[in-house]
Chains A and B, each alone.
Chain A
Amino acid sequence: MEVEVTFLSRRGTAVMRRAQRASGERVRIGRGTDNEVRLSDIHVGLHAAALAVRDGVLFVDRLDNSPLEVNDVAVETAQLKIGDHIVLGPYRIEILQAPEGCDGAIQIELVQPAGAADETGPRIGLQRTGVSKRVYAWSGFLAIAVLFLAVPIFFLSTGMIKSWHQNTTTEALPKLVGLSWNAGTFSNAHRFFAADCATCHQGAFTQIADKVCLACHQTIGNHVMHNVKLGAVGNELASLNCVDCHTEHRGIEGSVIREGHLCLGCHQNLNERAPDTGVHDIGGWPNGHPQFRVTLVADAAKGTTTRATLGTTPPPMDHPGLKFSHAAHLVKGGFPVLHYKEMTCGDCHVPDQTGTSFLPITYKDRCEGCHELTFDKVALPWPNATVPHGSDTGIIAAVWNYYAGLALQGGAAASPNLPAAPAERRGAGMAAPAAPMPPPGDTQAWVTAKSLAALQVVFDDKRGCAYCHYSTSADGTWDTDKILAGALPPKANPIPVVTPPMLRTRFLPQAYFDHSSHRAVGCENCHASRTSQTSSEVLIPGIDTCTKCHGGENASLQAQSTCISCHYFHRSEFGLMRVSAETAQ
């Protein structure tokens, strides 16, 4: 067979053709020199394909492993017609109309010259990796600007981020977006509405208004008494907003700023600037804090109190109107003769429900267990005769009534010479007074005599009431004869004879002290009760006792303490806190 082979090459727009004839049993195409048509490229097999005429039809057969494509389809063998094309490596072979005397004609063009792949060049340099800094830069910029700026502002300004006061809650997405603006850890108390930003943040570029806080905290106490003249200090106080002392997003501990400087701004020279307040100047804690001032009873009879500074010489005296010795009660080993155990502080000072302070001390709860008011051991239908406590005007009647009742039960006849029993435990060395006994048969005289004998003990100047109490006389002493003169038989509305004591439950009313948090310390570390002989002695410890453990707000080896560790800013006794502009009024 004979085939016309045309090699086609292009250079720019010029097309060159070089034709030759190949003949043989079959026309082999390949890289090898023994092929009828030689294609010098390593991508072409040594013997890639062969053209052959079978039954007058032109065929192409694949010879070795090189892929053979006819009309873009990989084949083993294929019948060829004019216009078909074969791809062999980088060559494209087209089937042409066979000229006269030839079995076929092909046109060969090198379409992918060697090294053509290198024309685009290797991708050297990061700028050729298709990764664009510019694209990433602007997409990052836009993504963050939209997600963290535009969207939060949109949600806030359209009310999609809601207030807790509204009935509906904020949807999940606005919640999430809103929280991306969260400036810090929420305080524990405010967390339940923390995602409802609009509860507090009610306007753009504005400080949180007082009314926002007071919407919930409407019962918070004022800081100053309404009728105290504050002058310029009042204006300063009025210019303060809630957020000047309370900040949110500052940690779970709470929103109260604990710095002493906030208080000292006014309080370091308040005495000079606003003397009407009566508040002493404070320079700080522990240094600069004045000695504590206690509120003491000035006169229990009149119910008056006084303020006194601790640690002075002579020491301040309390006048609670009660004869009481802590030392006499806190005796080591107790009172075995009376079968009373050793006493502890807690026997009388019982913590209240919060543990902060103590229940008021009453005779019934704290004294009666040991100190019974018995004046006679003879039993009526009720046991031993006792005088009523807390009702001294009823004592004479009670004693009289007791003996009258005893007489009606035959007591007068049964024991005509019965000596009056001592009402109280007798003081050491004291003898029972000899009571003249009336003649038998005169019941009223007997009752009077018995009552008088008992009342002489009750109203004795050492025993009876006087054991603990002062009388209503000017100097508080007990003139038994005067009290009993004409007292029997009992009269309606007699003059009171006992001055009711006045025991303070709080000695430092301007401060706050939590006994429960100090329980582990032990009472006697602060209160010198074991050596206290009289109730006039003030057992409230001075500042030195506190400063042993409590350092300044930045102390590292003492408890960090600041103004509000002991003092309240909001004092409910001063009325309600109002918006700042009204605070000083």
Chain B
Amino acid sequence: MSVTDTAAPASTLRARLSRHVSFLAYDNFRFLKIAVAAVVVAIVLYIVVTPYGERYGGGWAGYTLGTVGALLIVWLTWFGYRKRAYDPERKYATPHDAAGAADAHPPEDPSRLARRLSAHVYLGLALLIIATLHTGFHFGWNIHTLAYALMCIVIFSGIYGVFAYVRYPRLMTENRENLTTAQMQAQITAIDAELRRRVLPLDDQMTRIIRDSIDNTPIGGSMWRQVSGRYPDCGTARAIAALHTRPDGDQENWRMFRAKLDEKDALVSRLRRDVRFKALMDVWLYLHVPLTFALLAALTAHIISVFYL
């Protein structure tokens, strides 16, 4: 994902659009630098300040790491909420724009999204190290380690999300070749209509083969189907296989159907790839978001249990 960077003076729209950089590099890696600094401070704190006994997450250094970690979790979660509220249609209003400032809904600055996302990613990565130091590397079958494990899954799913945001949009663009999903679907529907029309007067055997392709060519479906991109029960594949060998008679129709089915197969594969790429871009959120909520509950239980007892 790339966003428009307006951290630099956004004198004109063109100037803004020309400075199109990845959120990872937002403001010359400002949040990477902040995150690295935070991690270095945390590591120094961990090494230099030794509590009585071994490091266990307590002592002033341990509680500092824990507090920073907990605040980061809450803040990073808040980002998710804010991002949901982000409306890309809403126009950016400069501070000088009195009309925008007076708007009942505060205008959403696209650069704020980039800033938030950049901060979210880098500080989320910093959180992994800060919280790990807070554990003192003690793990067990308890709520404390559960909270840590949930946090790790959330962060690692987020890391995958960054990877996906960098990788799949490009693959999707390459795969689509300027077609939209709706256009691909329409083309498949058109081929289906033609197949239907052409097979109508033919014998039942050919009709069954073509009907299988028309009726049983799934695209999308369950989460696993979309993510894996595997459709073992594909009528079009079966139809192509059935028409693999040249028949003794009616070569013309055979050739025509072969060509049509191959055309459909290419479209279906492309659409399925498109669906898969989109699913791979989205699937991590099904871990990231629900487990964040579970993490918030576990974090609360962790903090309360530590001070309750």
Interface membership of A128, Cβ < 8 A: yes
A205 pairs with B307, CB closer than 8 A: yes
Q: Which residues of B contact A46 (CB under 8 A)?
A: 203-204, 207
CA distance in complex: A347, B113 (Å): 85
Tell me the number of A-to-B contacts counted with CB atoms below 8 Å.
161
Chain B residues closer than 8 Å to A45, beta-carbon distance: 204, 207
Bound state CA distance, A553 and B294, in angstroms?
Answer: 41
Tell me the complex Cα distance, A131–B221, Å: 11
Q: Is the CB of B219 within 8 A of A124?
A: yes
Docked complex: A157-216 residues within 8 A CB-CB of B: 179-185, 197, 201, 204-205
A133 touches B290 (CB 8 A): yes
CB 8 Å contact bits of B212-239 with A (1 = contact, 0 = none)? 0011001111110010000000000000
Flag whether A280 is at the interface (Cβ < 8 A).
Answer: no
Given contacts A183-B144, A257-B52, A262-B52, contact A152 B305 (CB under 8 A): yes
Q: For chain B residues 262-309, which have a beta carbon within 8 Å of chain A?
A: 275, 278-279, 282-283, 285-286, 289-294, 296-298, 300-301, 304-309
A125–chain B nearest beta-carbon distance, Å: 7
8 A-B pairs, CB-CB below 8 angstroms?
A122-B185, A122-B220, A126-B279, A127-B282, A145-B300, A148-B298, A184-B56, A205-B307
**A506 within 8 A of partner (CB):** no
B289–A40 contact, CB under 8 A? no
The answer to whether A137 and B293 touch (CB under 8 A), given A149-B301, A204-B308, is yes
Q: Contact partner of B283 among A126, A141, A156, A251, CB < 8 A?
A: A126
Show the binding face of A for B, using Cβ within 8 Å: 31-33, 40-43, 45-46, 64-66, 114-115, 117-118, 122-129, 131, 133, 136-138, 140-145, 148-149, 152-153, 156, 179-185, 197, 201, 204-205, 245, 247, 249-251, 257-259, 261-262
Contact of B223 among A129, A180, A197 (CB under 8 A): A129
Let me know if B301 and A144 touch, CB within 8 A. Answer: yes
Given contacts A133-B286, A133-B289, A251-B54, contact A149 B199 (CB under 8 A): no
Chain B interface residue number, banded? 35 or more
A115→B304 CA distance, assembly (Å): 58
The yes or no answer to B166 lying at the interface (CB within 8 A) is no
Q: Determine if B5 is an interface residue (Cβ-Cβ < 8 Å).
A: no
**Contact yes or no, A33 B201, CB < 8 A:** yes
B211 at interface, CB cutoff 8 A: yes
Bound form: Cα–Cα A182–B146 in Å: 12
Confirm or deny: B179 has a beta carbon within 8 angstroms of a beta carbon on chain A. no
The 3 A-B pairs with the shortest beta carbon distances in the complex, nearest first, are: A140-B294, A136-B290, A124-B220
Binds A, one of B38-46, B135-143, B249-257: B135-143
CB pair A259 B297 closer than 8 Å:
no
Known: A129-B221, A183-B142; 12 extra A-B contacts, CB below 8 A, are A42-B196, A42-B214, A128-B220, A131-B286, A137-B294, A140-B293, A141-B293, A141-B294, A145-B301, A250-B53, A250-B54, A257-B53
Chain B residues within 8 Å of A43, by CB: 211
A193 → B minimal CB distance (Å): 15
Residue of A nearest to B202 (CB): A46
* Distance A327 CA – B75 CA, assembled complex (angstroms): 77
Provide the bound-state CA to CA distance between A421 and B278, in Å: 117
Given A205-B307, A257-B53, are A123 and B220 also a contact pair (CB < 8 Å)? yes
Cβ contacts under 8 Å, A33 to chain B? 201
Query: B292 and A137: CB pair below 8 A?
Result: yes
A residues in contact with B305, CB < 8 Å: 148-149, 152, 181, 183
Query: Once bound together, how far apart are the Cα atoms of A108 and B187, in whole Å?
Result: 31
The answer to whether B226 and A126 have CB atoms under 8 Å apart is yes
Q: Is the CB of B220 within 8 A of A42?
A: no
Pick the contact of B196: A114, A141, A249 (CB < 8 A). A114
What residues of A have a CB within 8 angstroms of the CB of B304 in the complex? 149, 153
Answer yes or no: B10 CB below 8 A from chain A CBs. Answer: no
Counting chain B CB atoms within 10 Å of each CB, which of A33, A65, A125, A257 scores highest? A125
How many angstroms from the CA of A145 to the CA of B144 in the assembled complex?
A: 13
When each residue 79-97 of chain B gets 1 if its CB lies under 8 Å from chain A and 0 otherwise, what string results? 0000000000000000000
List the B side residues contacting A138 at CB < 8 Å.
Answer: 293
Which of A138, A143, A183, A249 is most buried by chain B, counting CB atoms within 10 A of its CB?
A183
The reply to whether the CB of B2 lies closer than 8 angstroms to some CB of chain A is: no
Q: Is B200 an interface residue (CB 8 A)?
A: yes
Q: Interface majority SS on A: helix, strand, loop or mixed?
A: loop
Pair B308/A140 contact, Cβ less than 8 Å: no
Q: B181 at interface (Cβ–Cβ under 8 A)?
A: yes
A145 to B302, CA, bound (A): 10
CB of B181 within 8 A of CB of A114, answer no
Q: How far is the CA of A142 from the CA of B294 in the complex (A)?
A: 8
Whole-angstrom CA separation of A45 from B301 in the bound complex: 66
Contact B300 A149 (CB under 8 A): yes
Q: Is the CB of A42 within 8 A of B293?
A: no
Q: A65 to B53: give the CA distance in the assembly, Å.
A: 82
The B141-170 residues at the A interface (CB cut-off 8 A) are: 141-144, 146
B81 CB to closest chain A CB, in angstroms? 12
Bound Cα distance A420, B128 (Å): 96
A156: chain B residues within 8 A (beta carbon): 308
Residue from the list A125, A144, A184 in contact with B297, Cβ < 8 A? A144
Specify which of A136, A140, A259 is in contact with B52 (CB 8 Å cutoff).
A259
A40 touches B200 (CB 8 A): yes
Measured in the bound complex, the distance between the Cα atoms of B54 and A474 in whole Å is 60
- Measured CA separation A118–B220 after assembly (Å): 12
Q: Which of A123, A127, A142, A181 contacts B309 (CB 8 A)?
A: A181
Contact of A126 among B286, B300, B301, B307 (CB under 8 A): B286
Known contacts A124-B220, A137-B292, A115 near B215 by CB under 8 Å: no
Give the shortest distance, in Å, between B279 (CB) and chain A (any CB). Answer: 6
CA A82 – CA B275 in complex, angstroms? 50
Whether the pair B286, A42 counts as a contact (CB closer than 8 A) is no
Question: Is A148's CB under 8 angstroms from B200's CB?
Answer: no
Query: Closest Cβ of chain A: how far from B264's Cβ, in Å?
Result: 14
Q: Are B207 and A31 in contact (CB under 8 A)?
A: yes
Q: How far is the CA of A144 from the CA of B151 in the complex (A)?
A: 14
Q: How far is the CA of A182 from the CA of B309 in the complex (A)?
A: 9
A181 to B146, CA, bound (A): 11
Q: Are A122 and B221 in contact (CB under 8 A)?
A: yes
Known: A122-B185, A181-B143, A183-B144. A140 touches B291 (CB 8 A): yes
Q: How far is the CA of A149 from the CA of B286 in the complex (A)?
A: 24
Check: B189 CB closer than 8 A to any chain A CB.
Answer: yes
Q: Which of B143, B220, B226, B286 contacts A148 (CB 8 A)?
A: B143
Which residues from chain B contact A140 at a C-beta distance below 8 Å? 290-291, 293-294, 297
B65 nearest CB across to chain A (Å): 16
Is B210 an interface residue, CB under 8 A from the partner?
A: yes
B285 CB contacts on chain A under 8 angstroms: 133
Cα of A184 to Cα of B293 in the assembled complex, Å: 25
Residues of chain A with a CB closer than 8 A to B308's CB: 153, 156, 181, 204-205
